[in-house]
Amino acid sequence: MKEILKVDKASAYAKLNGLTFKVSEILSQSISLFIYVPEHGKEVKVDFSHSEVFIVDIQNELQKAYDIFNWGLDLRTYPNLQKYCTSREILVNQPNYNCPA
């Protein structure tokens, strides 16, 4: 899953606006991204609010999270993606039930 960052101009991360980053974790109120920090010489996990990021291809990501949720492998991502869509007022179709059998 990839996300586009858009933070306030006063933020230290404002220079990264418009770039895409790998998602570490989707939480109920925030999203953690892996961002490369040259000073550390590695990627670090940074939390942003739902309003500061835009998930690329949200419908597809919602379907993948729903499928994984149905398998019982990850019970947090799908509900948190739903909260993200609600908080951003993003209209999405209900995911399709894909029987794993």
Q: Report domain extents, the chain.
A: 2-88
Per-residue pLDDT at 90 exceeds 60: yes
Tell me the torsion sign for CA atoms 80, 47, 13, 87.
Answer: positive
Starting from the edge strand earliest in sequence, which strands make up the sheet with 30-37, in order?
Answer: 42-49, 30-37, 20-26, 2-5, 53-55
Residue pair 78/68 in contact (Cβ under 8 Å)? The answer is yes
pLDDT of residue 3: 79
The backbone torsions φ and ψ at residue 17, rounded to the nearest 5 degrees and listed phi first, read: -55, 135
pLDDT of residue 65: 94
Tens-place pLDDT, residues 15-53: 899 999 989 999 999 999 999 988 889 999 999 999 999
Considering the entire predicted model, what is its pTM?
0.84
Tens-place pLDDT, residues 52-88: 999 989 999 999 999 999 988 999 999 999 999 999 9
Per-residue pLDDT at 101 exceeds 70: no
| Calpha distance 77→32 (Å, rounded) | 12
pLDDT of residue 100: 61
